[in-house]
Structure 1
Amino acid sequence: MQLNAGCELHFNAKETTPLILMLRPRSGDGQWIIKEEYHITPVVNVTEFTDMYGNLCQRVIAPEGPFSINFSATVQTADDIDVVLDAPYTPVENLPDEVLHYTLPSRYCQSDMQGQLAADITKDSMPGYGQVEAIRSWIHSNIKYQYGTSNASTSAVDTANSRVGVCRDYTHLGISLCRALNIPARMVVGYLYKLDPMDMHAWFEAYVDGRWYTFDATQDKPRGNRITVAYGRDAADVAFTTQFGDMELNTMSVWVNAVDEAEAEKKAPEPATVPDASGSTSQTTTAA
């Protein structure tokens, strides 16, 4: 499915403030970026870099006063996520080097403190995907989704104790419990079609049978049509905005809409004809 997604943020900077933004998704597994627009008001210089997790990050300096960001993209997304209930556990000695750090405790995911809970939840599960699905199902059934019950300091241990939170908290707990079983897990933030209420969203991926699989404890069944914006160990790595000064976010709006099929067909360009050509390639150039 093609989706139009985006967000608009309005700030007030009380002083000149450097910012790191993480709002641009990349084409990759399960998604293709068809087009995107990025508007910043007032106009400022923007530089971009790719962080250690492969996320696109933009550096700007907001002047004192009102400052707004509007980002939108049209993205081809996968209608379904892969579900392989018998996908086996990948032993630590067989993990790729770049995956190993996703087995370790991190700021919001104290996996070294949750081994017993993870063992209790997964005691009747097959090692691998089955264990992760048991964790996802347990969180969905035992943690109450409620706004205003957590904050930027809430960790996986806090959520396990309080049994309440939002998608960020569900995700941290899922990651922590997976890592407690030596299953690599990472945080994902982005957009989910027909999320209710609509907002930026967070879920997690676990590495089993030599690849990453998607898990979302806020949902009662697997759902596709996701747009990934960023990956990281936990929320500390995937903030949509990181500010280094006195700056307030006044309003934020998020949207995800399906592109009408007729509109998509109308906008699709006619295939180019290249006589006598054997082939060619071309390219055109924080969560609730």
Structure 2
Amino acid sequence: MRIRVGYEMAYDFPQPTPMILMLHVHWSRVGDLEMPDHLITRPSIPLHGYRDSFGNWCSRLVAPAGSVHFSTSAVIRDRGQADPLDQDAIQHAVEDLPDDTIMFLLGSRYCDTDLLFDEAWRLFGQTRPGWARVQAICDFVHDHITFGYPHARPTRTAHDAFREKVGVCRDYAHLAVTFCRCMNIPARYCTGYISDISLPPPHAPMDFAAWIEVFLGGRWHVFDPRNNAPRIGRILIARGRDAADVPLTHTFGPGRLTRFEVVTDEIPD
């Protein structure tokens, strides 16, 4: 299967503004790209690329005052299968976990485990450890939060989402990650493209999305508390502890987003 991915966004800046953009397809999928997903700027702006501490590819730039456009268009090959399931995946004892998973047991900016620890054990302490426990968490989060773009708020934590019961996909991901960590299951936050391939129309306008990965049975597995169903054409951009680690765009000064479009479409044979 071949999928066209891309975006176009524009900002208005009152003054030259440093930025970090995290918009490239993740290094683990670069080999699937038929063409590089080059970041195109208008006007032309010098870019500097680097890898962050999680291995995500980032671009640094200084946006000039006025209107600035960012875009890309690329084609990626995909196996065309839904997210894999492994319902026998076990939960590891904390003392048996690999060292590099431990950071994903700890609280972080948006995943306030200290405030949800007791609630997590009340809700999920009697569930079967492993895959079934994570699925129970995703089922709860999916039903507990009402989705809506008017509900978006950049300061909302997992505990806020639990209390307010509204949010967008990042809030679903933060709450599920937090519950998993409270239950001693390493969990990390992911952002990227999710397609509507194989889903019946009508389709909502495309957007970047957030989901989670959990460490069970010796490897990381995808779960999606927002959609709560396997999807075809999930393409990772970045992963970290929570959204604070992987903002798609980060501006070091005031700016106004004036245009935002995302494309994730299957290319017919």
Q: TM-score normalised to the size of structure 1?
A: 0.86
Checking the alignment, whether the CA contact within 8 Å between 1:86 and 1:126 is kept in structure 2 is no
Structure 1 counterpart of 2:200: none
* Aligned equivalents of 1:248, 1:111: Cα separation in 2: 33
Q: Is it true that 1:228 corresponds to 2:229 in the alignment?
A: no
Which has the greater radius of gyration? 1
* Aligned equivalents of 1:223, 1:67: Cα separation in 2: 33
Structure 1 counterpart of 2:193: 191
Structure 2 counterpart of 1:264: none
* Aligned equivalents of 2:145, 2:119: Cα separation in 1: 14
Where do residues 136-285 of structure 1 align in structure 2 (5 Å cutoff)? 136-194=138-196, 196-261=204-269
Q: Deviations over 1:203-245 (max 9, x none)?
A: 1111111111111112142213111001011110111111112
Secondary structure class of the residue paired with 1:121 = helix
Checking the alignment, whether the CA contact within 8 Å between 1:172 and 1:187 is kept in structure 2 is yes
Q: Deviations over 1:75-109 (max 9, x none)?
A: 12242212111211012222222211010000100
Amino acid at match of 1:42: P
Structure 2 counterpart of 1:114: 116
* Aligned equivalents of 1:191, 1:214: Cα separation in 2: 14
Structure 2 counterpart of 1:51: 52
Structure 2 counterpart of 1:267: none
Q: 1:184 to 1:248 in 2, by over 3 A?
A: same
Root-mean-square deviation (Å):
1.7
Where do residues 82-93 of structure 1 align in structure 2 (5 Å cutoff)? 82-93=84-95
* Aligned equivalents of 1:30, 1:138: Cα separation in 2: 34
* Equivalent residue pairs, number: 261
Checking the alignment, whether the CA contact within 8 Å between 2:111 and 2:177 is kept in structure 1 is yes
Q: CA deviation at 1:4?
A: 0.5
Q: Is it true that 1:65 corresponds to 2:66 in the alignment?
A: yes
Q: CA deviation at 1:124?
A: 3.9
* Aligned equivalents of 1:193, 1:169: Cα separation in 2: 19
* Aligned equivalents of 2:214, 2:173: Cα separation in 1: 11
- Please list every run of 5 or more consecutive structure 1 residues that lacks an aligned counterpart in the other structure: 262-288
Greater than 3 Å deviation, 4+ residue runs: none
Q: CA deviation at 1:27?
A: 4.2
Amino acid at match of 1:43: S
Secondary structure class of the residue paired with 1:205 = strand
Q: Deviations over 1:18-42 (max 9, x none)?
A: 1101010134269822212321111
* Aligned equivalents of 1:29, 1:177: Cα separation in 2: 29
- Please list every run of 5 or more consecutive structure 2 residues that lacks an aligned counterpart in the other structure: 197-202
Structure 2 counterpart of 1:266: none
Q: CA deviation at 1:123?
A: 3.6
Structure 2 counterpart of 1:97: 99
Checking the alignment, whether the CA contact within 8 Å between 1:33 and 1:75 is kept in structure 2 is yes
Q: TM-score normalised to the size of structure 2?
A: 0.92
Secondary structure class of the residue paired with 2:163 = helix
